[in-house]
Chains A and B, each alone.
Chain A
Amino acid sequence: MNDSQGILWEVFIQSKPGQPHKHAGSVHAHDNEMALQNARDLYCRRSEGTNLWVVPASAIVASSPEDIGPFFETSNDKVYRHPTFYSVPEGITHM
């Protein structure tokens, strides 16, 4: 087990200040500090980012693909959450 390659981390990059972090890929590392450095070396060789998040892959909780229907369908029948559901008199702007 001494020959371990470290654990798997997921890497999220913010490409510009003000932008959300976006998943870039994964990296192996043994601890937090090394994970950040490895992620920088691997995913930011061409000034791709202004900020990095690394998260142990095992800490991510994900919905499963089979849930695509039931898990998300509660929002499908609420069309009144969209602005196009409402009618306004002709000529009204800025709304």
Chain B
Amino acid sequence: MNSLKLDENQLIENFEAKLAKNEMIEPKDWMPDQYRKHLIRQISQHAHSEIIGMQPEGNWITRAPSMRRKMVLLAKVQDEAGHGLYLYSAAESMGISREEMLDQLHTGAAKYSSIFNYPTLTWADMGAIGWLVDGAAIMNQVMLQRTSYGPYARAMVRICKEESFHQRQGYEIMNVLASGSAEQKEMAQDALNRWWWPSLMMFGPRDEESPNSAQAIKWKIKRETNDQLRQRFVNQTVSQVEKIGLVVPDKAIKWNEAKNGYDFGEINWDEFWTVVKGNGPCNKARIAAKIKSHEEGAWVREAANAHAEKNNKTKAA
């Protein structure tokens, strides 16, 4: 079938022509090695983030303040597991195995979003995470629905549809606390204070410090830059903070008519890089918990394998 043997230059030309027409790249299409590498890294780390992201919220399932909140939190954490699995499948379509990706996570070769290396100290953190962390993630994921790799884009469409309740339930928690007793309001403000800056960090380094960004935009993997997305997040979140009577923990926040957006203070980039490099408050605990659950689940996989093999033999006989 492969009668047309094209040379490398022609293949690149075809690939770029496809991108120029906004056509999606599919698993069996030819693609440059660097494109494949970039996406395997990005999609697998996105998947790892969903999986590790179950831990900070899972921490509060047994202590949710009501049955309603507990059901909602369970459903949300279950969604995160599902999102991780969609993304692992999308990455697998580029030729990396599930086992390989898990191994990279467990050994620290692959990263995940730094936001999940912060602890969840109070119930209000469940509100702040749903509202701000999922809010920032949605901003990024809405853009990625138009990413150039088909399986990744389709996973994003499904994820965005499911995420829409995550942010609302978080904001609801914050709103209820903020309009409760003085103590409850203080708890909400404290959670906002701790999660605000890490949420802004979720968009990654500033554009001029982000060497992979230009290439990602050229390949239409990303459609907007880190700073553009961060700015939009601040613009839409400030009024949500004010609406429930809380205060943005940034003295530099100021509406700027000229740019039709908010000016905001400088992110603590030393903290950002410290957490990225593995020295945040919970990096070690998160990976240790992940490895523990993987090892404790080994007997289930062994049993499932043995069961499948036995059934295959019975059928063959």
Contact = CB atoms under 8 A, between A and B. Distances in A.
Interface of A: 2-6, 8, 24-28, 30-31, 34, 41-42, 45-46, 62, 64-67, 70-71
Given A4-B305, A62-B28, A28 B298 contact: no
A42 B301 contact: no
B311 A31 contact: yes
B92 A64 contact: no
A30 B92 CA distance: 17
A65 B23 CA distance: 13
A25 B92 contact: no
B95 to A, nearest CB: 12
Contact of B1 (A2, A8, A46, A66): A66
Contact of B28 (A8, A24, A31, A64): A64
Contact of B92 (A4, A8, A34, A70): A8
- Main secondary structure on B side of the interface with A: helix
A30 B304 contact: yes
Given A31-B308, A66-B4, 13 more contacts: A2-B301, A2-B305, A3-B99, A4-B99, A25-B154, A26-B89, A30-B304, A31-B307, A31-B311, A42-B85, A45-B75, A66-B2, A67-B1
B298 A2 contact: yes
Contact of B85 (A27, A31, A46): A27
Interface of B: 1-4, 26, 28-30, 75, 78-79, 82, 85-86, 89, 92-93, 98-99, 102, 154-155, 158, 162, 298, 301-302, 304-305, 307-308, 311
Contacts of B30: 65
Nearest to A62: B28
B167 to A, nearest CB: 16
Nearest to B4: A66
B164 to A, nearest CB: 11
A5 B103 CA distance: 12
